């Protein structure tokens, strides 16, 4: 009779491998597998898999916290640097789109809707992956943490813009916090809040921004970093195998 050897959850192991530094990942995964096997023989596969998932989630949280704690200045530098990079490439895309319209008769070939839809899609789906990949390349071994820190900086920026609008609606002085999203092409920051800044309206717009812009951006930033991590791990594994 053939006995199937229990294996730990692949996704959990993949996530741990993604977050841990390359030199740490092998040891941590080895430790998890060793304890997983002993729990399988003691209590069965299902409790062992549950244990593995629980340990993986806690391990990922600790690793991210540890990476921040061990290098706080670098983390802030990456968060701000990554955010500025994102702003620069987004602005470059917006300016390129405006230059195309100013210097060529693009609407003759494609409709304005299709053109701006394409620009919006590039800004929304391609740029975050590129930025995630680039910052992950700069922060070897802490790829996911730095991508996450850029995402958190973006979140703070968005929330600051909306809080500013709300405060302006309650009679306080409006502070000009630039909106770097594609929306700023149509509503320049100098023109002030581009909507009726009532509480309900601001919350409705914030919800729209979070679901249509923020969540895809964070997910794609992390995806870019994950692609970089996976390709660099694969390359170093191939190098080790060749040696």
Partner 1 sequence: MWGDFRYILFYIVGVMSTGDYLGAFEHLVLLSLLRLNDRAYGVTVRQEIAARTGRDVSVGAIYTTLERFEVKGYVRSRMGEPTAERGGRAKRFFRVTAKGVRAVNSTHEALRSMSLGLELVRSLS
- Residue 198 makes CB contacts below 8 A (sequence gap 6+) with 169
| One of 6, 60, 138, 159 touching partner 1 (CB under 8 A) | 60
- Say whether residue 63 binds partner 1 (CB under 8 A): yes
| One of 44, 47, 50, 62 touching partner 1 (CB under 8 A) | 62
| One of 43, 44, 46, 58 touching partner 1 (CB under 8 A) | 58
Task: Work out how close the CB of 190 gets to partner 1 at its nearest, in angstroms, rounded to a whole number.
Answer: 46
Task: Work out how close the CB of 133 gets to partner 1 at its nearest, in angstroms, rounded to a whole number.
Answer: 25
Task: Work out how close the CB of 121 gets to partner 1 at its nearest, in angstroms, rounded to a whole number.
Answer: 37
Whichever of 70 and 211 has its CB closer to partner 1, that residue is 70
CA–CA separation, 175 and 162 (whole Å)? 11
- Residue 18 makes CB contacts below 8 A (sequence gap 6+) with 143, 144, 226, 229, 230
Whichever of 70 and 98 has its CB closer to partner 1, that residue is 70
Q: How many residues bind partner 1 (CB under 8 A)?
A: 25
- Say whether residue 27 binds partner 1 (CB under 8 A): yes
For partner 1, which stretch binds (CB under 8 A), given 26-34, 116-124, 155-163, 196-204?
Answer: 26-34
Whichever of 73 and 113 has its CB closer to partner 1, that residue is 73
Whichever of 69 and 207 has its CB closer to partner 1, that residue is 69
CA–CA separation, 134 and 140 (whole Å)? 11
For partner 1, which stretch binds (CB under 8 A), given 42-50, 56-64, 91-99, 154-162?
Answer: 56-64
Residues 6-25 contacting partner 1, CB under 8 A = 20, 24
For partner 1, which stretch binds (CB under 8 A), given 51-59, 91-99, 102-110, 166-174?
Answer: 51-59
CA–CA separation, 2 and 199 (whole Å)? 65
- Say whether residue 121 binds partner 1 (CB under 8 A): no
CA–CA separation, 154 and 132 (whole Å)? 13
CA–CA separation, 146 and 20 (whole Å)? 12
**Where along the sequence are the contacts to partner 1 (CB under 8 A)?**
20, 24, 26-35, 37, 55, 58-63, 65-67, 69-70
């Amino acid at each position: 009779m053939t006995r199937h050897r229990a294996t730990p959850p692949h996704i959990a192991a993949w996530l741990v491998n993604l977050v841990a530094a390359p030199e740490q990942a092998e040891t941590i995964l080895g430790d998890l597998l060793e304890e997983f096997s002993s729990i399988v023989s003691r209590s069965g596969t299902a409790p062992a898999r549950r244990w593995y998932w629980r340990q993986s989630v806690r391990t990922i949280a600790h690793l991210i916290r540890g990476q921040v704690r061990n290098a706080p200045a670098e983390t802030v530098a990456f968060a701000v640097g990554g955010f500025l990079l994102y702003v620069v490439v987004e602005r470059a895309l917006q300016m390129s789109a405006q230059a195309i319209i100013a210097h060529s008769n693009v609407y003759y070939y494609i409709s304005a809707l299709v053109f701006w839809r394409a620009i919006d899609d590039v800004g929304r789906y391609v740029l975050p992956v590129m930025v995630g990949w680039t910052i992950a390349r700069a922060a070897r071994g802490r790829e996911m943490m730095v991508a996450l820190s850029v995402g958190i900086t973006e979140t703070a920026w968005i929330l600051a813009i909306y809080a500013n609008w709300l405060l302006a609606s309650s009679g306080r002085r409006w502070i000009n916090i630039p909106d770097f999203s594609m929306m700023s092409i149509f509503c320049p920051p100098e023109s002030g809040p581009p909507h009726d800044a009532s509480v309900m309206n601001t919350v409705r717009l914030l919800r729209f921004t979070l679901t249509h812009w923020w969540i895809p951006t964070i997910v794609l930033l992390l995806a870019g970093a994950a692609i970089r991590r996976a390709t660099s791990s694969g390359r170093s594994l191939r190098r080790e195998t060749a040696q």
